[in-house]
Amino acid sequence: MRVIDYIANLKLSDEKEKEYFNELRSLSYLATGLRFIYEKVQRVEDEVIERLPKNKQVSIFGNAPEMQGINQDLVACAFHWYAVTACNYVKMVGWLANNGDSSKAREYMQSVLPQVYLWRHKVAAHFAIIDPQKNDNAADLAMSVMFPISFDNDAFYTGSFTLTISKGGNKSRSRQDMRWSLTHTHCDLIPRYWRENRPKR
């Protein structure tokens, strides 16, 4: 019996484990990649934290002095890579747990990674501005291609800011349900999927 989600107590029988060898192998290499991205971003965050005043709330966007020498472009790309990979991982778990039911796999992914899932669809997998959906307003489309990350207190986040656009008498405001931290998200996923590989934070 193999546990694929400790929190939801999702397991595969020995027979299913043999049947889904390739799917489980995919989970294995995706988990390795997620941990790699997490460790790289955590090191950058630790460097920024060392430069910040202690016991003060901080929000940084752009080229503040504390960001000198920090490659924020790579961190932003790490969010793209992590979002796509994490959604692939979680959706596969949902698919395995529901006997290949794609609809239930999607529901499971949305319940585990709601903010990451939305950000993946609006930014990481494709920018909303080049593939707009009916529910995307002008501010959502513009926000999808704005530089995505800020540093808030102890970690990089995406979705920390809201954009308001007024055009031709119409006002729109970007959605506010896509805020997430790569490193905090990864640490939240560990007790669910990788209890044997707890990183230090």
Summarize pLDDT for 66-113 with one digit per residue, the tens: 899 999 999 999 999 999 999 999 999 999 999 999 999 999 999 999
Q: How far apart are CA 160 and CA 178, in angstroms?
A: 8
Share of the chain above pLDDT 90, in %: 85
**8 Å CB contact between 199 and 31:** no
pLDDT-derived band at 170 (thresholds 50, 70, 90) equals confident
Mean pLDDT of 25-42: 98
Which pLDDT score, from 0 to 100, does residue 75 have?
98
DSSP code per residue over 105-161: HHHHHHHH-HHHHHHIIIIISS-GGGS--TT--HHHHHHTTS--EEEETTEEEES--
Mean pLDDT of 30-50: 97
Q: Is the pLDDT of residue 158 over 80?
A: yes
* Mean per-residue pLDDT over the chain, rounded: 94
Q: Is the pLDDT of residue 201 over 70?
A: no
Which pLDDT score, from 0 to 100, does residue 167 have?
81
Which pLDDT score, from 0 to 100, does residue 43 have?
97
| Model confidence, pTM | 0.93
Q: How far apart are CA 54 and CA 48, in angstroms?
A: 12
Which pLDDT score, from 0 to 100, does residue 62 have?
87
